């Protein structure tokens, strides 16, 4: 009976921007030198859903392979590029401003193991390494130590979605003015406004903002906000006072920053 080979190591990716936090778009690719070692010793990276695993395609004992690499060839580490299927990954991820590359290494991890699941901590760089978004260095002695305890090696990489102040600029194109306009939702998020503003193209608009409440971006757009027009004496929302049911969610490619460094998502809405 054939049994599924155990991975030399695995990396589990998660990101709050995606449904249930599962990021299926990240993968590892060996650099040139590591790829040569992989080909020589029958190793390959496979990505299934949100887990990238290094497997032996020859069936050789991986612990023996590690011993040979460390003691005979004096190889210190495997190095990988981190690739994303999403062009806007660095835009919708909560990172220090101007980040162009994210780096991970096991060299700074304390190897006093409580379990084999290890959360990797990032370093951020402003120099771009496109087409990949990050780098991962894996010290061979680290995974040898874990495997020698007869447990699997699982590293975790967690990302959070960027949180922004949402701004809606309502532009009315009808002849009659609309009064008592407001934004409602079922998420206990209250929008400030409206205030009258002039846009760069000289158009007049009514501006709503989420104020000090920063809202995380999400691929599935779960935040349902509605533009309503109701009497001040009757704030109860009903189907007759919807101006727009389901306002748009912001694009991760259109984020700006105010003077205080707060991320802003502006949106134009025409009614």
Tokens representing 12? 């589990």
pLDDT score for 152: 80
Instruction: Give the HSE-up count for residue 264: Cα atoms under 13 Å, Cβ half-sphere.
Output: 15
Extract the tokens encoding 109.
Answer: 């991890």
Residue 237 has pLDDT above 70, yes or no: no
**Containing H/E element for 34?**
helix 32-41
pLDDT of residue 61: 65
The domain spans of the chain are 9-159, 163-270
Please spell the DSSP secondary structure of 48-113, one letter per residue: ETTEEEEEESS---HHHHHHHHHHTS---EEEEEEEES-TTHHHHB---TT--EEEEESTTS----
pLDDT of 2 higher than 50: yes
The tens digit of pLDDT for each residue in 167-186 reads 999 998 775 566 688 998 87
Express as a percent the part of the chain with pLDDT over 90.
Answer: 59
Instruction: Give me the numbers of helices (H) and strands (E) for the chain, helices first please.
Output: 4, 19
Q: What is the pLDDT of residues 95-135, one digit of tens each?
A: 999 999 999 998 866 544 445 578 898 999 998 888 899 99
């Amino acid at each position: 009976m054939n049994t599924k080979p155990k991975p030399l190591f695995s990396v589990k990716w998660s990101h709050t921007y995606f449904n249930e936090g599962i990021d299926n778009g990240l993968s590892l690719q060996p650099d040139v030198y590591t790829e040569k070692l992989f080909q020589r010793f029958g190793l390959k990276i496979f990505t299934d859903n949100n887990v990238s695993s290094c497997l032996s395609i020859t069936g050789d004992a991986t612990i023996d392979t590690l011993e040979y690499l460390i003691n005979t060839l004096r190889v210190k580490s495997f190095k990988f590029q981190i690739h994303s299927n999403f062009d806007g990954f660095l835009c919708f991820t909560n990172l220090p401003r101007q980040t162009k590359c994210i780096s991970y290494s096991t060299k700074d991890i304390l190897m006093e193991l409580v379990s084999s699941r290890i959360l990797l901590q990032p370093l951020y760089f402003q120099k771009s390494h496109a087409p990949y978004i990050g780098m991962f260095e894996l010290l061979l002695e680290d995974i040898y130590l874990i495997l020698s305890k007869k447990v699997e090696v699982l590293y975790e990489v967690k990302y959070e979605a960027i949180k922004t102040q949402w701004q809606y600029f309502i532009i009315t194109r009808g002849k009659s003015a609309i009064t008592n306009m407001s934004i409602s939702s079922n998420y206990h998020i209250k929008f400030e406004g409206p205030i009258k503003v002039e846009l760069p193209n000289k158009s007049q608009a009514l501006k709503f903002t989420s104020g000090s409440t920063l809202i995380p971006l999400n691929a599935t757009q779960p935040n349902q906000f509605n533009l309503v027009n109701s009497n001040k004496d009757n704030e109860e929302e009903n189907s007759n006072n919807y101006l727009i049911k389901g306002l748009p969610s912001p694009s991760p490619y259109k984020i700006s920053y105010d003077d205080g460094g707060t991320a802003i998502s502006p949106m134009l809405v025409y009614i």
